[in-house]
A and B are shown apart, each in its own frame.
Chain A
Amino acid sequence: MTGSTSASHPSARHPSRPGSPRRAHRDLTASIAGGVASGLARHLAVPVLWVRGFFVATAFLGGFGLMLYAGLWMFLPADQHFEVGAPGLESATRTGKRPGRRSRLRDAGPAIALGALFFGVVLGVEGIFGQGVLFWPVVLGIAGIALLWRQADEAQRERWIDSSGRIDPFRAVFGNGGWAAYGRIAAGLGLIVTALLVFAIAAGQATFAVPVLVAGLLGLVGLAIVVGPWAKRLIDDLGAERVERVRTQERADMAAHLHDSVLQTLALIQKNSHDATTVARLARSQERDLRQWLFEAETTDATTLAGALKEMAADVESQHPVVVDVVTVGDCDLDEALRPVVLAAREAVVNVAKHAGTQRADVYAETSPGAVDVFVRDRGAGFDLGAVASDRHGVRSSIVDRMERHGGRADVRSAPGEGTEVRLHMARHAQHQSPTQPQPHAQASDEENR
C-alpha cells in the first residue's frame, strides 16, 4: 500500500518545492528502531519491506548492514522537525484545540520482535563462531549504545512537540521523563558498564596495563556517546531554528496579505449592503480564499485534476450566482487527455447556474487507476432531454460531443422537477501515451477554441 500510493501521489504528502534538493530523512512515525528503513524507503520510493530486508540480509555480511544502519541513524536528520501544515491547523494544534498525534511506540510488538531478532542473531553468531572472549562485552556494549541513542531520539522528538519552546537540558536528555526514559538511560549505562566489567574479568589474566587502557578508552567512547547526540542535535536545532524564523516571517507576510484581503472584502460588503447577490458573492469568494489558505495544506493549482476542478468551480462561482461544492476522491496529474473533462464539467456547472433555477451544484470527481469519473448534480428545475430544440448546442456539443470526440462518454440524466445530473467518464490511458502523441489532442482543443 505504501509503495503504490506514494508512487501514484508523489506530491500528495511531500510537496517538493522547485529548487530545494530532496533529502532523505528518518521517518519517526513508522519506526521500529530508528526509522531509517522507512525513511529510506520513502526517499527511494521502494517498499519498506525491501529496505528492511536489505538491512537484515547485509547484516550477515560481517555486520555490514548493522553498521550501515547505525551510521545512517546517526547522520540522517529526523523528519517532522517542522511539519508544515496549513496555518489554521497549525494554530489550532498549538493552542491545544486538536488532539495530539498518538505515539506508535505504545505498541510493544516492534520492541518484542526486535528483541527476539537480536537474541536470534546473537545465538546464531555464537553457533557459527563459537563463544568468543570478546563477543559478549561487545554485544552488551552495542546494545547499551543503541538504547542510549534511542533515548536521545525520543527526547529530541518530544522537545519538538513541546510548544513552550524552551530547551531544558534535563528534558533534552530525559524527554518527558517517565519510567521508560529513565529505564532506557539506566539500561544503556548499565549495559556499557557490564560490558566493561565482563571485559575486565575476561581479560583478568592479561597484563594489567592493557585492560586499563582499553577500559579508559571505552569510558571515553561511552561519554562521547552520551553527550554526542545532544551536541550534534543542538547544532542541527540551531540550523532548523533559522529556517523556522525565515518561515515565520514569510507566514507573517502572508497573514498580513490575507488580512488586507478580508478587510477589503468587508469594506466592499458594507458599501454594497443593499445588494444581496453581490454581498453573497463577495462573502463566498472570501470564504473560499480563507478556507483554502487555512485548512488545505496543498495549494489548489491547476496541475492536478482536483485542483483544476476547484479552480473551475471558483471561476464559475465568481461569475454566476451559484455555490459549487467540489468533492474529489483520488487525484492525478491533469494531462491533455483530461482537459476536456474539466471543460465539459465547467459547461455543466454553468448550465446549472444559468438554467436550473437553483443556487447549488455538487461536483464529484473520482479518479481510479483506470478512469476518471466526474458527476455534476443539481436539484433544480430539470428538463426533458427529448424536448430540447435541435438548434440548442449547449449540452449536445459542449458536453456530449466534446467528451465523445476525446474518447470519453457523457450521459445527461434529467427529468422536470427532479434536477439534472451530468455524468462524465474518461478512460485513463497509460501515462506514456500522452507525451508521445500530443498533436491530436492539441489540435482538438484548438478546434474547440475556434
Chain B
Amino acid sequence: MTETASAGPVRVVLVDDHAMFRAGVRAELAASGVGVVEVVGEAADADAAVDVVRELQPQVVLLDVHLPGGGGVEVMRRQPSADTLYLALSVSDAAEDVIGTIRGGARGYVTKTITGPELVDAITRVAGGDAVFSPRLAGFVLDAFAGSIDVAAVDEDLDRLTEREREVMRLIARGYAYKEVAKELFISVKTVETHMSSVLRKLQLSSRHELTKWASDRRLL
C-alpha cells in the first residue's frame, strides 16, 4: 500500500450512471484522499466505461454493479485494459449481484454508504493487489460456498474452501479488520490477504480463461 502511495496517487476511474453520486464520490475522494487517490475520469454506462478505461488505463475502476449496457460485469468482460483492477461499489444488496460481480473479476465490493476514508483505504488496498471484503460480502461468500446462494453454475471446485480460508472469511463477516484477523489467528496480515485472494480466485473460477487454466492444470484439456 505504502509503495503505491509513494509512487504518486492511485489513478481512479469512476463508473456510475448517477451523476449526483459521481459528483459526491469525487468530492469525498478529493476531501479525504488528497495525494493518495486521484479521479482521472468518469463514465455513465458500460460502453463509455470501456472507452474511458481503454484510453486512460487507470489503476483502479470504481464500478457500479447496476449499469446501463449490461451491468458492471459487462465492462470487466470486455477487458478494456489488462492491468486495471476493479472495485465494485454498489447500492444493491442482492447476493446474486454481488457474487456475480466478484465472479466477473472485481477485486472487492463495498457499499455506497461507505465513508470517504474507508473508500480511500479500500482503493489503495485494491491498487496494492489485495482483495477488499466487507462483512456482508464475506457472508455472501460463505453462503455461496455452502450452497445456500444459487450461483449460476456451481463449479465442482466451489466447496473447496480450506478450513483456514473459511475461518478468515468468518472473522471478516464478524466485522474484524484485517489486522484483527491476523492477531486472532496468529498469522501475518500478508497471510490474511493471501487467503482472501485465494478465496476470490476460487469464486472467479467460472470466468472462462480461469476455467481453462484450471482444467489444463489438471490435464483435463
Contact = CB atoms under 8 A, between A and B. Distances in A.
A97 B146 contact: no
A429 interface: no
A358 to B, nearest CB: 11
Given A92-B66, A98-B66, A12 B148 contact: yes
Contacts of B17: 97
A328 B142 CA distance: 9
Interface in A10-32: 12-13
A182 B176 CA distance: 56
B147 interface: yes
Contacts of A97: 17, 66-71
A291 interface: yes
B80 interface: no
Contact of A86 (B67, B94, B138, B176): B94
A421 interface: yes
A53 B105 CA distance: 38
Interface string B127-146: 00000000110110011001
B74 interface: yes
Interface string A89-117: 10010011111111010000000000000
Nearest to B177: A379
A101 B176 CA distance: 34
Given A86-B94, A291-B93, A96 B69 contact: yes
A104 B174 contact: no
B148 A331 contact: yes
B97 A362 contact: no
B148 A5 contact: yes
B175 A377 contact: yes
Contacts of B147: 1, 5
A102 B103 CA distance: 14
Interface string B16-29: 01000000000000
Contacts of B74: 99
A102 B94 CA distance: 18
Interface residues on B, range: 35 or more
B150 interface: yes
B221 interface: no
A330 B148 contact: yes
A329 B139 contact: yes
A159 to B, nearest CB: 21
Interface string B142-164: 11001110101110000000000
Interface in A256-308: 287, 291, 294-297
B125 interface: no
A295 B148 contact: no
A364 interface: yes
Given A327-B139, A364-B135, A99 B100 contact: yes
Contact of B71 (A98, A297, A364, A378): A98
A163 B90 CA distance: 24
A13 B67 CA distance: 26
A9 interface: yes
B69 A1 contact: no
Nearest to A296: B93
A366 interface: yes
A360 B66 CA distance: 27
Interface residues of A, number: 39
Given A329-B139, A364-B139, A296 B70 contact: no
A99 B71 contact: yes
Interface string A61-99: 000000000000000000000000010110010011111
A285 to B, nearest CB: 14
Contact of B92 (A13, A88, A96, A100): A88
Contacts of A12: 148
A97 B101 CA distance: 12
A327 B92 contact: no
A325 interface: yes
B122 interface: no
B101 to A, nearest CB: 9
Contacts of A9: 148
Nearest to B100: A99
Contacts of B65: 98
Contact of B93 (A1, A96, A295, A329): A295
Contact of B97 (A98, A102, A378): A98
26 contacts: A1-B154, A89-B94, A89-B97, A96-B68, A98-B66, A99-B70, A99-B74, A102-B152, A291-B93, A295-B94, A296-B94, A327-B138, A327-B139, A329-B173, A330-B143, A330-B148, A331-B148, A360-B175, A362-B135, A362-B174, A362-B175, A366-B170, A366-B173, A377-B174, A377-B175, A377-B176
Interface of B: 17, 65-71, 73-74, 91-94, 97, 100, 104, 113, 135-136, 138-139, 142-143, 146-148, 150, 152-154, 170, 173-176
Interface of A: 1, 5, 9, 12-13, 86, 88-89, 92, 95-102, 104, 287, 291, 294-297, 325, 327-331, 360, 362, 364, 366, 375, 377-379, 421
Given A13-B150, A327-B136, A378-B175, 14 more contacts: A1-B154, A88-B92, A89-B92, A104-B153, A291-B93, A295-B97, A297-B94, A327-B139, A329-B139, A329-B148, A330-B148, A364-B174, A366-B170, A375-B174
The 6 closest A-B pairs by CB, nearest first: A362-B175, A327-B139, A97-B66, A295-B93, A364-B174, A99-B73
